[in-house]
Each structure stands twice: as C-alpha cells, then as structure tokens.
Amino acid sequence: MLFNSPVYGVFLFVTYVTFWALRRRSILRPLLLALASYLFYCVGTYDAAIEQKIVTGSDVPLGPIKWTILCVGIIFVGSSLDFWVGRTLGRTENPRSRKILLLLSIFYYLGVLSIFKYFDFAVDSFAAVMRWAGVEVSPVHLRLVLPFGISFFTFETMSYTIDVYRREIPPADKYLDYLLFVAFFPHLVAGPIVRPKTMLPQLAAEPVATDATKQSGLFLIATGLCKKIVIGDTLSINLVNRVFDNPERFSSLEVLVAIYAYAIKIYADFSGYTDVAIGSARLFGYELPKNFDAPYVSRNLQEFWRRWHISLSSWLRDYLYVPLGGSRGSTWKTYRNLMTTMLLGGLWHGASWNFVIWGGLHGGALAVNRAWQRREEGKRGAEAPKREGAPLAHVVSVVATFHFVCFAWIFFRAKTFEHAILMLQRLGKGTLESPNLAPKVLAVLALGFVTHFMPKRIYDGARDAFVACPAIVQGALLAVFAYVLHFAAAAKAEPFIYGQF
C-alpha cells in the first residue's frame, strides 16, 4: 500500500475515524492501530509480490499469499522475540546471560537480512573472486524478494534490545505497545527510524492531538505528496530513468542535468515520504522524528549527514561509529571508524558494490573533512571560537559539497558500476545538445531547487497560515492540492525509492 495511492487515503481516513471513536477504550485503541498496521504491511507485501510477477514474469517463492504470510511472520516473530528478550534482560544480572540474550536478538535480524538481502550478493561476490583466481564456481541463488521495510524495522528493533542491554531504557511494559512500536504503519516501510526511548513512552501514554496538531499533519501529508508526485515522479519519469538506463543516448549536458535532477528527485521522494509519515502519525497524536533539514545547503559532508536521513545517520553514529571508538582514539583510528561506518551504511542501502562505493566515497570525504577541521583547529587553537567564513566562501563550500554529493549519487543510482562509468564518460564528452530537456522538466527541476533552498521561515509561515485558516478554507486548499496531485500523477503510482531498502 503506497502512501501516494488512493487506497492509502481511504485506509488512513477509516483508521483515523475508528481510532478516535475508541478514545475512551485504552485497550482497543492500540489493538486497532496494531491490526491496521499489520493490514497495511500485508497489502503492501502482497502488492509487491504481484508486481514482481508482472515485471519479471516469475512468481515469488510460495506464491503471493503464502509469501505475504511469511513476511508478516518475520516481523511478528521478531517483535515477540525482542519483547521477551527485553523483559528477560530487565531482570537478569548475569553478564554472560545478558550477552547471550542480546546476541540472540541481533542474530535473528542479521540472519533475516543475510538470507533475504545479502545471500545472493555474497555468493556472486565469492564466485567473482574465485573466477579471478582461476576457479570456476556456479553460484546458487535464492532469488528472494526483499520484504517491505526490512532494513528499517531491523534497525529499530536492534536499537531496543541494545538500549535495554545498556540499561539506557527500561523494558517495554506491554506486549501490544511493543508490537505497535515496530509495526506502526507510518514509519514501517521507509522510516524515519524511530528510537524506543522516544516512541515507547508515547505509546504508553494517552494520545493527545489538538486541532492544530492534526491540521499541521494534514499540511505535511499534502506537501509531502506534492514533493513526491509533482517534483520527484516528474523528474524520474521524464528524465532521470531514461538517462541513467541508457546514458550513451544522451549528450553531456543532458547527463549533467539528469544528475542534478536525480539529486532533487531522491530528496523530494524520500523527504516527501517522511513528511507523509510524520503527518499521518500526528493525526493519531504521535510524533515521529525529523528526518531531513534542507541537506543541500550544507557547507561540508559532516553537515550534510546532520541534515540528510537524520534518523539513519544518528543510528549509525550511536550504534556503530561510537562503539567502534568514534573520534576518541588516534587520528587514523578515527578515519578508520568513519570509513567502516559509511561502508556499512552504503551496504545497508542495498546488496550491490555500487552502494559500497557510494558509502566509501562519503567515508573518504568525511575523513578529509575531519582532517581539514583538525588542521583549522590547530591553527586557531582548540579553545578559540570558530569564525564564520566570508559569504563567498560560504557559497563556494555549499556548491562544492552539493557537487560532491551529486557525483556520489551517480554510483547510488546507476544499475551497475559499468553504467556509472558510462555516465562519467558521457559527461567527459563535452557535448551540449539538449533535445531531451523539455521545458516542463526544466521548470519542475527549477521548482525543486527553489523550494529546497528557500528560507525555512517561508515554509513554516505557510504551515502556520494553513493551521490558522477556517476549516472550510482548509478543505478548499486540500481540494486544490488533490486536484494538482491528480493532474500531475502518472497513470500508475510510482513506488517510493527507499521502500526497496
């Protein structure tokens, strides 16, 4: 079930009305949300199985219905296991027993990820190494379809057991609350990655949603869908997919514009998903974490990762980078930790060497950025306040950072390493023909840049003005949004990029 489909609108409305009709029923309310979330996941998984057959001509293992049951079983069994592990950790003092319990939970999810996401990649990589060594190996593939949102809910559940193990949070009191924490439909498929320390207390308390909170949620849903459909899908269908699939057919200028378009497309798509997720949760009185903060205005890669996919970058920092040693050791250990974190972060996105290369590029750039910062600190003294750069230097830093991010996006988006190299080769040709750059596409690309770089106060002002409007005006504005979305939407709803991870 896609956020940008009419079915989701009906599902959200029915769930919302029923939820608040049960506001005096403290047991039935979370039960309703949990059942609705599992229904959401069932429909999404079944639709993905049908899409697999349409695209490839082959059925998913076990058939769509049994496959859906299996995928739902994975998340339900994992949630039940973690609830038991958390409760047991809370009353166990023996260090060895506690470690065994933690590893039991982690191995379950890493095992699921290894089978569904990385098995084929691992055997293909092994076969490639063996062929390079002169030994021919025929790899065995499982060819499994990736269950919806598996990378997101595994990180959320792992953070729960790790936090309980560290005694940073108490175990969840109610089984139903924990099931809902994992499966809550707004964040289930593509985040934001919620932390148990912020979400579980919300689920344990009575939900509170003022009219202003609900209205801001509707505004987020409307603007998020506009980002996705009007900007992201238009750029993807009319330029990005064509160029990245067959770069040899396009000029250098068209390839360059397509790279810029992909940068805006992936931001509009993913931040649009996040807006819809946060807005949907607000309708029920729950607050999900912020996930994007105008990342392309960043002056360096460190700032970029404080603004891009914030819930993932903070998860990698707290559960991987810091445990590896962070920046506490020698300079070279810090660089090693940065590179390891980003390589694994790249691999988290998908079982492909392109994602590893993308992560490696960001890891290397972050190491260079850290070296530069330490050099500047050494010049002015560690205790001296940091001086703001000149306006021109600020602009140059933003432009340089944006172009490095775009360069790395080539490897993220390209189907194969060879396609990425072909994109770079086409850029190097220096050809300037542009018959495929339609005015509509350029206008939408310009709109994407303008809305991204406009001051935050403009967006906040528009949201506050919407909330302050009478209900009849809000309804009229939402009807305008719906008309624009209907006019701009493709014949078939385009899936969100991060749904595949």
Residues with catalytic function = 349
- State residue 255's pLDDT score: 95
Q: What residue spans define the domains of the chain?
A: 6-207, 208-292+416-494, 297-387
- Tell me the whole-structure pTM to 2 decimals: 0.92
Say if CB 49 and CB 64 are below 8 A apart.
Answer: yes
- pLDDT grade for 5, boundaries at 50, 70 and 90: confident
Say if CB 311 and CB 347 are below 8 A apart.
Answer: no
**In this structure, what token pair is assigned to residue 184?**
């809550």
pLDDT higher than 70, residue 380: no
* pLDDT tens for each residue of 407-442: 999 999 998 899 999 999 999 998 998 888 999 999
* pLDDT tens for each residue of 330-357: 888 889 999 999 999 999 988 889 999 9
Say if CB 279 and CB 12 are below 8 A apart.
Answer: no
What DSSP letter does each residue of 17-80 carry, written as one string? Answer: HHHHHTTT-TTHHHHHHHHHHHHHHHHHHHHHHHHHHHHHSSPPTT-HHHHHHHHHHHHHHHHH
- Pick from 260, 264, 365, 263: nearest CA to 305: 365
- Pick from 199, 159, 160: nearest CA to 177: 199
- State residue 492's pLDDT score: 62
- State residue 27's pLDDT score: 81
**DSSP, res 230:** I
- State residue 149's pLDDT score: 82
- pLDDT grade for 150, boundaries at 50, 70 and 90: confident
* pLDDT tens for each residue of 14-26: 999 999 998 777 7
Residue 361: other Cβ atoms inside 10 A: 21
Residue 47: other Cβ atoms inside 10 A: 19
- pLDDT grade for 270, boundaries at 50, 70 and 90: very high
- pLDDT grade for 495, boundaries at 50, 70 and 90: confident
Report the C-alpha dihedral over residues 331, 333, 344, 247, rounded to 10 degrees.
Answer: 40
Residue recorded with tokens 């050494």: 378
pLDDT higher than 60, residue 364: yes
**In this structure, what token pair is assigned to residue 36?**
């609705």
- State residue 491's pLDDT score: 56
The angle at the Cα of 298, spanning 297 to 304, to the nearest 5 degrees, equals 125
